[in-house]
A and B are shown apart, each in its own frame.
Chain A
Amino acid sequence: MRFRAKIVDLACLNHFSRVINTIAKLAKTCTLCLTDSKLYFILSDKVANGGVSMWCELCQGNFFDEFQMEGAAAEHNEIYLELVPENLSRALKTAQNAKTVKIKLTNKHCPCLRIAVELPSLSSSSRIVTHDIPVGVIPRRLWNEFREPSVPDFDVSIYLPMLKTMKSVVERMKNLSNSIVIEANLSGEMNLKIETDLVSVSTHFKDLGNPPWASEDGCQSSSQGRDLESMAEARIDIKKLQQLLAGQQVNPTKALCNIVSKRVVHFILLHEDVSLQYFIPALA
């Protein structure tokens, strides 16, 4: 099992750092899957995470100038590592003005991702700061736990409102309640609602637009034939939603959510070279 990669371009480095910062805000521990073309940051839905799951996909070619990996076995050219993204985020903080950043999988005393940051120096020899981030190697027999989640059979799919506004509203609502109701319909309307003994607050967004989903096999999805005004709703943990919104450092190109009434809300945030999917289950 081998992995080594190098980033030389400062813009790519900053972009990569921003992605890692976002992941670090969403998960304490997660799985990093490396293939020869892509990187995946995965959180599978366990009771320990409160049932949320995450699937973040990056094309390595958009970030790395060099990227070589060799999986556990020839037919399965993949590497699965468990890591704490905050460690990676902190290591990359020292690389803000770096000339190069090299990442390598090592196993000196225990498996680590070695981040070597080459910093500009006045003398002829370069200054290198090295971070060793401990990782857990995930054995092949467990790889099935980390498959890409399928898009759920949703009742309503709708584009999200401006994230800045949604973030402000959810942050204030978080002061007032532990749970929030997201409801939306196929007429581009979305409401965020909280209700407690002290106060009830509802925010109404209009004209958001509903993304067109091509139905597979031509068969009807739950959303087809649905009354346009009828709301699909789910009550979710407000902290999880606030974490998702707070972690967005750059405005996505496309942001939408799929609501399965009373079951789950599936968020999809697309940037040019990164796609992030986040599932928040409905509260009982």
Chain B
Amino acid sequence: MPLSAAPPASSQPYLLSASLDNARHLSSLLRAVHFQDHATCFATAYGLRVTVEDAKCIQANAFIQAEIFQEFAIQEESVTFRINLSVLLDCLTIFGSSSLPGTTTALKMCYRGYGYPLMLFLEEGGVVTVCKINTQEPEELLDFDFCSTKVVNKIILQSEGLREAFAELDMTSEVLQITMSPDKPYFRLSTFGNAGSAHLDYPKDSDLMEAFLCNQTQTNRYKISLLKPSTKALALSCKVSIRTDAQGFLSLQYMIRNEDGQICFVEYYCCPDEDVTEA
């Protein structure tokens, strides 16, 4: 992809250098985790992970693997920096956010290393935009220590089944309560708002249910204001996996197919608001 304003060759190679023919492959995933201004970018040879956290109880990660990029070169084992995600998104979508068929913005991203800004070169229709975004010291991230061996309950649902439910969540409720059980009601979403409580049940043999692996009845509540941003990831995804561990920590993993049919993942981790485990 020829760019007339390509970065000049210099004696110090870029620590991280990546190219994308379609910047939307990156911007749409970043939007799905954009609920705070700041994000931590973590790059390895496998690709890029962008993490956003809030209130020390919710964490969202967007994974863009190296194969999605047309070029992805990293000079060290890993590169980490903190960046203003709102600014990054404004730059990635500088030519507009509407996805008109046939128009794509090409992107080249370069990072020289600690203390240097992130450079973006974007091109659409012969017009070139160059962005220099300051980076900050990376902060320590939460470790939810959520591995598959600790999972108590797991469901995989087709996203279309949950989209309406999440878009219409009663936001006057402080919590979203999730019940997962090998017995009825199997999978229930509940809210307790000003107008009353609402329950949405999904039977385990529903067409939308791709996998139902629940061993124990668990009811956990999560702050609804923290989970609401996950609606963006749900809207983009085709499938979602919902898992809880013994402490009631929630893992939501969204499988997202981009415009070229490639698969990427976004995950949300959330701490429970109270421990309410029914026997």
Which residues of A are at the interface with B, using a C-beta cutoff of 8 A?
161-162, 164-165, 168-169, 172-173, 175-176, 197-207
- Name the residue in B124, B128, B129, B134 with the highest tally of chain A Cβ atoms < 10 Å from its Cβ: B129
Task: List B122-143 residues whose CB lies under 8 Å from chain A.
Answer: 124-134
Number of A-B contacts (CB under 8 A): 58
> Do residues A204 and B129 form an inter-chain contact, with CB atoms below 8 A?
yes
The A interface is mostly helix, strand or loop, or mixed, namely: mixed
In the complex, A199→B117 CA distance in Å? 9
CB distance from B103 to the nearest CB of A (A): 10
> Do residues B95 and A205 form an inter-chain contact, with CB atoms below 8 A?
no
> Do residues A203 and B94 form an inter-chain contact, with CB atoms below 8 A?
yes
Instruction: Tell me which of B93, B124, B125, B133 contacts A199 (CB under 8 A).
Output: B133
User: Which residues of chain A are within 8 angstroms of B130 by Cβ–Cβ distance?
Assistant: 201-202, 204
CB distance from A166 to the nearest CB of B (A): 9
B274 within 8 A of A: no
> Do residues A161 and B134 form an inter-chain contact, with CB atoms below 8 A?
no
User: Which residues of chain B are within 8 angstroms of A161 by Cβ–Cβ distance?
Assistant: 127
B123, closest chain A residue (CB): A204
Instruction: Tell me which of B87, B95, B133 contacts A169 (CB under 8 A).
Output: B95
Instruction: Tell me which of A165, A200, A201, A202 contacts B125 (CB under 8 A).
Output: A165
B5, closest chain A residue (CB): A204
B231 within 8 A of A: no
User: Which residues of chain A are within 8 angstroms of B131 by Cβ–Cβ distance?
Assistant: 199-201
> Do residues B128 and A172 form an inter-chain contact, with CB atoms below 8 A?
no
In the complex, A16→B93 CA distance in Å? 34
> Do residues A200 and B94 form an inter-chain contact, with CB atoms below 8 A?
no
> Do residues A206 and B134 form an inter-chain contact, with CB atoms below 8 A?
no
> Do residues B134 and A203 form an inter-chain contact, with CB atoms below 8 A?
no
In the complex, A204→B130 CA distance in Å? 8
> Do residues B96 and A168 form an inter-chain contact, with CB atoms below 8 A?
yes
B183 within 8 A of A: no
User: Which residues of chain B are within 8 angstroms of A201 by Cβ–Cβ distance?
Assistant: 91, 94, 129-132
> Do residues B87 and A176 form an inter-chain contact, with CB atoms below 8 A?
yes
Interface residues on B, range: 20 to 34
The 8 A CB mask of B83-99 against A (1 = contact, 0 = none) is: 01011001101111000
> Do residues A172 and B127 form an inter-chain contact, with CB atoms below 8 A?
no
CB distance from A157 to the nearest CB of B (A): 20
In the complex, A139→B18 CA distance in Å? 65
> Do residues B129 and A203 form an inter-chain contact, with CB atoms below 8 A?
yes
Instruction: Tell me which of A169, A197, A198, A206 contacts B94 (CB under 8 A).
Output: A169
User: Which residues of chain B are within 8 angstroms of A198 by Cβ–Cβ distance?
Assistant: 84, 87, 133-134
CB distance from A201 to the nearest CB of B (A): 5
5 other A-B residue contacts (CB within 8 Å) besides A175-B90, A199-B132: A169-B94, A200-B131, A203-B128, A204-B5, A204-B129
CB distance from A182 to the nearest CB of B (A): 15
Q: Given A168-B96, A197-B134, answer yes or no on A206-B90 (Cβ-Cβ < 8 Å).
A: no
CB distance from A27 to the nearest CB of B (A): 27
Interface pairs (14), CB distance under 8 Å? A161-B127, A172-B90, A172-B91, A173-B94, A176-B87, A199-B84, A199-B87, A199-B131, A199-B132, A200-B132, A201-B129, A201-B130, A204-B127, A207-B126
- Name the residue in A201, A202, A204, A206 with the highest tally of chain B Cβ atoms < 10 Å from its Cβ: A201
A203, closest chain B residue (CB): B129
Task: List B89-118 residues whose CB lies under 8 Å from chain A.
Answer: 90-91, 93-96
In the complex, A197→B130 CA distance in Å? 16
> Do residues A169 and B129 form an inter-chain contact, with CB atoms below 8 A?
yes
CB distance from A206 to the nearest CB of B (A): 7
In the complex, A206→B124 CA distance in Å? 12
B131, closest chain A residue (CB): A201
> Do residues B126 and A206 form an inter-chain contact, with CB atoms below 8 A?
yes
Q: Given A168-B96, A198-B84, answer yes or no on A203-B127 (Cβ-Cβ < 8 Å).
A: yes
In the complex, A201→B93 CA distance in Å? 12
User: Which residues of chain B are within 8 angstroms of A162 by Cβ–Cβ distance?
Assistant: 125
User: Which residues of chain B are within 8 angstroms of A172 by Cβ–Cβ distance?
Assistant: 90-91, 93-94
User: Which residues of chain A are within 8 angstroms of B94 by Cβ–Cβ distance?
Assistant: 168-169, 172-173, 201, 203
User: Which residues of chain A are within 8 angstroms of B125 by Cβ–Cβ distance?
Assistant: 162, 165
> Do residues A204 and B128 form an inter-chain contact, with CB atoms below 8 A?
yes
User: Which residues of chain A are within 8 angstroms of B84 by Cβ–Cβ distance?
Assistant: 198-199
CB distance from B34 to the nearest CB of A (A): 13
User: Which residues of chain A are within 8 angstroms of B86 by Cβ–Cβ distance?
Assistant: 175
Q: What 9 A-B pairs are tightest by C-beta distance, nearest first?
A: A168-B96, A203-B129, A201-B131, A172-B90, A200-B132, A199-B133, A204-B128, A172-B94, A175-B90
